[in-house]
Amino acid sequence: MIFKARNKSFDLKKTIIFGILNVTPDSFYDGGRWFNPDNAIKRAFEMIEEGADIIDLGGESTRPFTDPTPLDVELERILPVLKELVKNNISVSVDTYKPEVAKIALEEGAIVINDVFGLRSKGMLEIISTFNPKPGIIIMHMKKNPKEMQVNPEYNNIFSEISEFLHTQAKKAIKAGFTKENILLDVGLGFGKSFEDNLKLCSNYERFLEDNFLHIIGPSRKSFTGLVSNGVPTEDRLPATISLSSICVYKGVHALRVHDVKEIRLACDMAEEMRKISI
């Protein structure tokens, strides 16, 4: 199995690691840390050294209850970093739900669009489908939008509702010229889900893997990982992130989106070996 994005292919014998690089002042964990372009570029190189396959570059915080970032501000944040990374042949995913940002990012050399709105933005699919070879796309499930997603999220059947949305959107992408090898599906941990919802999704993730699509998951330091241990702060959530990442990789998830590349890469190596020898 492989994941294809523009002119690059990633062998899924090993879990693909997306290293999170938020060039924002307000992201929930690293907001402000990499806001300076030089610091962000340095961190990207570090994550590649630590084992990241792709740098996931974001210019807008999508943490709960946030307002949208203006288009020009988002571009101003990401473009200096994107251009420098592409110049150094680093694979870059851009985390955006704005079609205009996606278009410019792909023109500047990004190979993946990570869309937290799951192709719901008007014009997104039409724009990114014009690029050949096709970029990779991450289609994520989120109830409503970041401003409203954590206001009493409810599901009749969380598995069927998320699966139906992801498969509907993936079929639209395939109709537009993408293949399954271009698409990563993401259940959207923490995006319109309760504490129990998130744990239920992770502990039963194999139910999603029966669809023969590629899957990515992003448990990194999210609030529900802290609630398990009586509300530990963001900076103390790495052990829970390692645990969840290992479980999901053992169950067969193909890719992870994380802040702590070195530690998660090592955890993935062990989970992959355990999966190979399981009876």
CA-based radius of gyration for the chain: 17
Taking Cα atoms as reference points, which of 121, 122, 166, 116 lies closest to residue 146?
116
Taking Cα atoms as reference points, which of 167, 238, 171, 157 lies closest to residue 201?
157
Residue 222 annotated as catalytic? yes
Q: Which two tokens stand for residue 15?
A: 């879990």
Q: Which two tokens stand for residue 120?
A: 């719901």
Residue 257 annotated as catalytic? yes
Please name the residue that has the structure tokens 């962000």. 40
* CB contact at 8 A, 94 and 124: no
Amino acid at 275: R
* Active-site entry in 4, 77, 134, 257: 257
Helix (H) or strand (E) holding 137: strand 136-140
Q: Which residues, other chains included, contact 225 with Cβ-Cβ below 8 Å and sequence gap of 6+?
A: 219, 237, 240, 241, 244
Q: Which residues, other chains included, contact 257 with Cβ-Cβ below 8 Å and sequence gap of 6+?
A: 18, 20, 56, 114, 186, 216, 217, 218, 220
CB half-sphere exposure, 165, CA atoms < 13 A: 21
Amino acid at 124: M
Helix (H) or strand (E) holding 93: strand 92-95
* Active-site entry in 77, 221, 222, 265: 222
Burial annotation 151-162 (CB, 10 A radius, 16+ → b, else e): eebeeeebeeeb
Query: Catalytic residues, which ones?
Result: 222, 257
